Amino acid sequence: MTDFARQTVVITGAGTGIGFAIAKALVQQGANVVLNDYDQPLALDAARRIQQECQSPEAGICEACPGDASDVAFIRQMIDRAVTRFGSLDIAIANAGITIFGDIFTTTPESFQKIVDLNLRGSFFLAQIAAQHMRVQGKGGSVLFMSSVVGHLGHPGLPVYSMTKAGLEMLARQLVIDFSPLGITVNAIAPGATLTERTLDDPTYIPIWSRITPMGRPATVDDITHAALFLVSPASRHVTGQSLIVDGGWTSVGVPPV
């Protein structure tokens, strides 16, 4: 994988799970990472753990920036901080997202707005503000959205969440128009069932998803991380406006988790 030495990265929702794994891998490969999470103690601990575990001379720096990734003023402050601290911004990863289960008959306006604000609004304005900095810098960059397989196939209880994830993939295609002349790539990853702290709390998760996933197991966070690092590296400099599904083949067969 490409060396990320001296690259500056902002990644939201990275206190645990996929975001944490991506942040750690980037630091290991030399990037300076501003790690965001809404939970302040979690963000501080995540950055501390990454810094402790990545102590080679080639490793970058990881700094926590706790805050609400749906708040446009905070997003601007976070990116300004990254640029001030490390001198530039090269990669922005909109990983923060929220899942609230409920069918269309039970979804409240409050839960609808909460999902849309973080999943769509936060991702949109992270991309906008990051690209504004990249345009001034004049050396291109990369923006990555975190979608989901439920942006491709329906899933019980996730009408709003799936809508936002499909919307992110359309946004990646749309932003090609504005970003390509600036040398900025914009893509999305759509993870399938993935083993994280949250999903491992469910004892039925691995058996169910191993049975219905053609490759015979759920994804690990490393599976998603490898795809993410490719899409924000120079190795994918001619890949833009794309959505990469990482699901062990699940969307090819579409067996529901029942």
Active-site pick, 38, 148, 165, 236: 165
Q: How confident is the model at residue 198 (pLDDT cuts 50, 70, 90)?
A: confident
For 121-156, the pLDDT digits (tens) are 999 999 999 999 999 999 999 999 999 999 999 889
Token digits of residue 46:
């995540």
111 classed as catalytic = no
70 pLDDT above the threshold of 90: yes
d(CA 69, CA 202): 27
Q: How confident is the model at residue 115 (pLDDT cuts 50, 70, 90)?
A: very high
Token digits of residue 96:
């923060």
Q: Which residues partner with 191 through β-bridges? A: 246
For 29-48, the pLDDT digits (tens) are 999 999 999 999 999 999 99
Name the strand (E) or helix (H) holding 10.
strand 8-11
165 classed as catalytic = yes
Active-site pick, 123, 161, 205, 243: 161
- pLDDT of 2 reads 57
Look at the alpha carbons of 10, 11, 15, 17 in this order and tell me if their dihedral is positive or negative: negative
Q: Which domains does the chain have, with CATH numbers?
A: 8-243 (3.40.50.720)
Range from 14-28, 57-71, 84-98, 199-213 carrying the lowest mean pLDDT: 199-213
d(CA 54, CA 5): 13
Look at the alpha carbons of 155, 161, 166, 172 in this order and tell me if their dihedral is positive or negative: negative
Distances (CA, A) of 153 to 30, 80, 96, 134, 229: 37, 37, 21, 34, 25
d(CA 40, CA 25): 21
24 classed as catalytic = no
Q: What contacts 109, CB < 8 A, 6 or more positions away?
A: none
Q: What helix, strand, coil percent values describe the chain, rounded to 5?
A: 50, 15, 35
The chain-wide mean pLDDT, for the chain, equals 96
Active-site pick, 70, 123, 142, 147: 147
- pLDDT of 189 reads 98
